[in-house]
Structure 1
Amino acid sequence: MDIHLTDISHIIQLSIAPVFLLTGVGTKLAVLTNRLARIIDRSRVLEDRLSNGAGGSFADAQSELLTLYRRAHLINRAITLSTCCGLLVCVVIAALFIGDALKLALAKFIALCFVLGMFSLIGSFVYLLREIFVATQSLSRRFLPSASK
């Protein structure tokens, strides 16, 4: 079985669109990990403050810590789903290349992986949105006490 340069060029063209998706997923992962890092940094400050018994209300610090733990949990789920999406997109790219190069019928497998990747991406966005709602809700409770009533 001979693979010609035009065949390889066609295979690469098929793989380009998922590569752009992969770039977007990578950028989203960077945003998610930055959000998680900020949550972890703030949690460490509060945990140190609680263990030292320094400044502020114990109840307020505990309440904020619980909110931060919830946010971290949501972001972790978003990261997991985004990573799954990235892996599935990589599988799609590899399957496109292998299927076309070796003349294998992988269309259903490729479609399944792509759809699963899209569901993972959608789920990741849902968890990110939930985390943003929790973060903004905690802000309004802290700075606008009348808003929580």
Structure 2
Amino acid sequence: MFFQTPTDIDTVGSAAHLIQVALTPVFMLSGIGTLINAFNTRLARVSDHLEAIHKQLAAPISDEDGETGKADRKRLEAHSFHLQRRIFVLDAAILLNGTGGAATCGAAMALFVGSLRDSSTSSWMLALFGLALMCTVGALSFFLADTFLSWHGLKRRGALPPLP
């Protein structure tokens, strides 16, 4: 026959299992890519805000501003420090997410190398995928920290109403 169908159920089952396992890293990478995009967008907005603050700080204080100008400068410096902390937290989230993406790719590579060579790479695959999951949890934790920093900054500047 030209088209032969496999008669061994184990062969079909193992191929289906391999495809099933191979799709997991694809979905993980898709989620990591989406998170990195969101983190980069947020980082760009914070960086733009910090740049605007630095431009305001670079302007000299005029004599007619007096104490109000000095108080504004102190407030801007505190806000600049707050934004720099947020940038650090977002950088850490992006770094962890990138590491998680690389570990996910490594897990997929271990899966395929193991299936091609009929060797046992399950420990590598599990270790790399576990690392990817831990990095993603860490990145989401840093994102949560940035959210709290952002909310705290808005609350401190009086941009949010007080809680009842």
State the structure with more CA Rg. 2
Aligned length: 142
- The two structures have a TM-score, normalised by structure 1, of 0.87
CA drift of 1:14 comes to: 2.5
* Residue correspondence of structure 1 range 1-149 to structure 2 within 5 A: 11-53=18-60, 57-143=72-158
Q: List 4+ stretches of structure 1 deviating above 2 A.
A: 6-14, 53-56, 144-147
**What's the secondary structure of 1:104's corresponding residue?**
coil
**Bigger proportion of residues as helix:** 1
TM-score by length of structure 2 reads 0.79
| Residue segments in structure 1 that go unaligned for 5+ positions in a row | 1-5
Aligned 8 A contact 2:154 2:160 in 1: no
- Tell me, in whole angstroms, the C-alpha distance in 2 between the residues paired with 1:34 and 1:145: 23
Distance 1:9 1:101, change over 3 A: farther
Superposed displacement of residue 138, structure 1: 0.6
Structure 1 residues 89-128: Cα deviation after superposition (integer angstroms, max 9, x where no partner): 0011111111011101001111111111111111111110
Task: Give 2:47's aligned amino acid.
Answer: I
Contact kept in structure 2, 1:8 and 1:101, CA below 8 Å: no
In 2, distance between residues paired with 1:112 and 1:96? 12
- Shift in Å, 1:141: 0.6
Indicate the structure whose relative CO is greater, using CA pairs within 8 Å and at least 6 residues apart: 1
